[in-house]
Structure 1
Amino acid sequence: MSVTTLAPTFGAGGSEPYAHALRRNDPVTLLLNDERHGSSVRSVMDVARWNAGADDADLTLLRSVTGPVLDIGCGPGRMVRAALDLGLEVLGVDVSPTAIDIATEAGLPVLERSVFDRLPGEGRWQTALLVDGNIGIGGDVRAMLARCVRLLAPSGEIVAEVHADASRDNTYTGRLVDARGGESGFFPWAEIGLLPMNRVAGSLGLAVVQSWTIGERTFCRLA
């Protein structure tokens, strides 16, 4: 029995600015806006970085994990490719058909599927990877972490990128807007910093066993 996929999904609907940015491979900046609820929260998302190779922060993270690795919200496969290059067993999952097409064309092991659907190897993954804001998929951090726990082996770990603001704890309905004014449909999203992450993780019997910052990016390891 599969779990119902959360919908609508990240960047889908409307003029599909996310899909267009991925295909053009332009340095397009997408703004995550919560206009429906009148919030001024905005997060800048650089699609060009997602299409590029793994950077130093990505590689530092991947060198610290053990496979098999499940890359949740893998996009066009930057982290999947880097994990393979490091000799890790890895699978990427994403709901974006365009992102999965790009990754598949590159020969990467990916599936067009929500993390909340049935996945291969449930209960046997050693690392669940949530980078590039993907902890916010579905707009419910606790639900995401609980799902990861069910996917992991008993000794497994969740490695997540959190918001640079350690106190950030926002859940809202957002949409993507590109520089040309193209807009996606609305979708649920969340942002969380290290301090509330400790609280949410603890409610699930998880502990933040490590955290680190490289440049403007902050990560944590949950076990």
Structure 2
Amino acid sequence: MTDEPADVTATRLAYDTVAQDYADLLRDHLAGSEFDRAMLGVFAEQVARGGGGPVGDLGCGPGRIAGHLAGLGLEVVGVDLSPGMIEVARREHPAVRFEVGTMAALPFADGALAGALAWYSVIHTPDERQGELYAEFARVVRPGGILLLAFQVGEDVVHLTHAYGHDLDLHTRRQHPDRVRERLVEAGLTPTAELIRQAVPPEKSPQGYVLAQRAV
């Protein structure tokens, strides 16, 4: 794509390559992660308490989180830059709507969403462009709406050359919770809750979850 950042092209290629194997490996992951289910449950309850409405799963991958949220009664739309991932998501979760798109230019009108989540999906964007993502998240969430972020905790960059049974070229960036909160505030979102849990093998780092709300 013209003028597309090289990291975006590389991320799309990597996830197109691993899409089905990624989905197969993580399909039942939520069943063994009570912390993930707890944070997703809180998110769903807060969206419902705010009157409900459409929710965006931003960087949805093969749709496993979108499918879980739909099972909790939410109206979910998944967005991912990888056509391969969207193909898998549509096949495995036919009742949920999925679209190809980027987090830097989401296919939603201003304030169209009651909530949004970026579940380990900001981790491939360089630091200098992370603020743009948070601003885009804030744009599409309505006043009073909810945002949930999940990320690996740390400050280093990991270069993956083989994962999910495939050779690839992908960089992941761990996030410092203080900087996550700063970016949320800069984008007009107020952090309301945070959970940091220790790594569970094969994880290599603690995992972070932050809930925030757009100012009314």
TM-score (norm 1): 0.71
CA positional deviation for 1:104: 0.9
Distance in 2, matches of 1:113 and 1:7, equals 16
Check if 1:138 corresponds to 2:128.
no
Gap change, CA 1:156 and 1:19, over 3 Å in 2:
same
TM-score (norm 2): 0.73
Query: 1:172-204: CA deviations, max 9, x gaps?
Result: 6x75411567223x67x6432211222222333
Structure with the larger helix share: 2
Of all paired residues, the percent bearing the same amino acid is 20
Deviation for aligned residue 1:137: 4.4
Check conservation: 1:5, 1:114, Cα contact below 8 A.
no
The code of the aligned residue for 1:178 comes to H
Structure 1 residue aligned with 2:21, among 24, 28, 31? 24
Structure 1 residue 205: deviation in Å?
A: 3.4
Deviation by residue 1:138-171 (Cα, 9 ceiling, x = unmatched) = 3222111111110110111221113323xx3x5x
RMSD (Å) for aligned C-alpha atoms: 2.8
Aligned 1:1-223 pairs, distance under 5 A: 7-9=6-8, 11-13=11-13, 16=14, 18-24=15-21, 48-49=25-26, 51-52=27-28, 54=30, 55-65=33-43, 66=47, 67=52, 68-106=54-92, 107=94, 108-132=96-120, 134-139=121-126, 140-165=129-154, 168=155, 176-178=160-162, 182-184=167-169, 190-216=173-199, 217-223=207-213
Shift, 1:214, TM fit: 4.5
Q: In structure 1, how many angstroms separate the alpha carbons of the residues matched to 2:153 and 2:106?
A: 31
Aligned length: 188
SS in 2 for 1:59: helix
Q: Which runs of 5+ in 1 are unaligned?
A: 27-46
3-state secondary structure, aligned to 2:42: coil
Amino acid aligned to 1:52: D
Long gaps (5+) in structure 2: 200-206
Q: Supply the distance in 2 between the matched residues of 1:81 and 1:152 (Cα, whole angstroms).
A: 20
The structure with higher relative contact order (CA 8 Å, sep 6+) is 1
**AA aligned opposite 2:142:** A
Of 59-68 and 103-112, more deviation after overlay is shown by 59-68
